[in-house]
Amino acid sequence: MNPHKKFHLVFSVVMAAFMVFIMTFIITLANVGWIEGFVRLWLKAFAIAYFIAVPVIFFLAPIARKLTGRILGVPA
């Protein structure tokens, strides 16, 4: 795998972990509150969302980068 593709894959994995960690925590907390079993519910939501987020970020990040470049009038 070439270094650029490898970087993009690792970026997708790391970015998904950060985003999903924060978002699933906040949304789970908003939906059920700080209840007994919260961590179990949160980790279940995290696992589901993470495996969706990695491919979404992998395929959409380049499009978002290009769109941002167009909006700002700078090369992506």
Residue 75 has pLDDT above 90, yes or no: no
SS3 call for 4 = helix
SS3 call for 73 = coil
pLDDT tens-digit map of 40-51: 999 999 999 999
Q: The pTM is what? A: 0.81
Give Cβ neighbours of residue 74 (< 8 Å, ≥ 6 apart): none
